[in-house]
Amino acid sequence: MSNNQAAILLMRQLKELNKNTDSGFSAGLVDDSNPFEWQVILTGPPDTWYDGGLFKAKLSFPPDYPYMPPTMRFTSDMWHPNIYKDGKVCISILHAPGSDPNQYENASERWLPVHTVESILVSVISMLSCPNDESAANLDAAKEWRETPDVFKKKVRDTVRRAQEDW
């Protein structure tokens, strides 16, 4: 797929994504001239410790999208076992397609070209609701999640408060 075809696909997905205003997320281009860089706003899932937060993130798409996955990085502070301290999201569907060299994931759990931006964002919202501490990107957050949930919860609530103040 050419750069131009990827750009057309991304613009179509952006338009489709923003039709559903009750999805818990919205997106737009960082720069109108570059369809490969998106700004995303995710609402903390209801009835979770992230509830009430509005979290900013960026999606960066490779030129060979949809054959390779984008990267996603929260620009809002986040405290979560599956989000690196620099904000980068670590979930299976954002990992390159094919077999996992570490054999933690099945190929079917990793990126497939049938995934869309919407399926990525739904997966991230699900990840916020149910962290996977078995495959942690932030070891400190994973340890707190398992061993001192009250401390973890307080840090998440502080994160939500800071996200609200950013608006």
Report the candidate in 45, 19, 15 with the shortest Cα–Cα distance to residue 28: 15
CB-based contacts of 29, cutoff 8 Å, min separation 6 = 14, 35, 37, 38, 39
- SS3 track for 151-162: HHHHHHHHHHHH
Active site residue 130: no
Q: How far apart are CA 68 and CA 61, in angstroms?
A: 8
Structure tokens at 108: 């079917």
Rounded CA gap, 92 and 113, in Å?
A: 14
Q: Which amino acid is at 105?
A: E
Could you say which DSSP state residue 99 is in? -
DSSP state letter for 129: H
Residue of 72, 78, 90, 160 marked active site: 90
As annotated, the active-site residues are: 90
